[in-house]
Amino acid sequence: MTEKVQRRLRVNPILCNGYGYCAEIVPELVSLDDWGFPIVSNRPIDDDKLLGLARRAVATCPRLALLIEETVPATTNR
């Protein structure tokens, strides 16, 4: 059985100051709340194009508040 790594975009809300570049770079994963702070989608990033955009958002954040979390989901049928 192959273990597949799941990647999700995450924000450290303590570091985030609401610059909002992430929502411009990858609106597929980030929207902004009423005060300009990012609402980050919890869905796994499943294609390379999206992953590329997510990585750009991570690299662009002036506060270095974004990261890509990698998890290995627990095997479902055990």
Partner 1 sequence: MAAVLPADHIAIRPAVGTRLMAGPPPTAGFERIDDHQLRLGPRPAGGAALIDVLEQSGLRGRGGAWFPTWRKWASVANSSDGHSVVVVNASEGEPLSAKDRTLVTLRPHLVLDGAVLAAETLGANDIVVYLSRGSRTTERALEQALKERSAAGLHEAPIRVVRTAHRYIAGESSAVVNRGSGGLSKPRFSLRRSAEKGINDQPTLIQNAETLAHVAMIARYGSAWFRRLGTDGSPGTALMTVCGNVLRPGVYEVDLGAQLGGVIEAAGGTVSPAPGALLGGYFGTWLDPSWLEGLPLDVDRLRTTYKTSFGCGVLAVLPQGACGVVEATRVLTYLAAESAGQCGPCVNGLGALSDAMERVAASEATFTDINQVRRWMEMVKGRGACHHPDGAVGQLASALTVFNDHLRRHLNGQRCYGTTVAGFPQPPSPGRGWQ
Contact status: 39 vs partner 1 (CB under 8 A): yes
CA distance 60 to 12: 15
Contact status: 8 vs partner 1 (CB under 8 A): no
Contact status: 10 vs partner 1 (CB under 8 A): yes
Contact status: 14 vs partner 1 (CB under 8 A): yes
Contact status: 34 vs partner 1 (CB under 8 A): yes
Query: In this structure, which amino acid lies at residue 62?
Result: P
Whether the CB-CB separation of 3 and 72 falls below 8 Å is answered with yes
Q: Kindly give the residue spans of alpha helices, DSSP state H, lying in 1-78.
A: 21-25, 48-60
CB of 31 to partner 1, least distance (A): 10
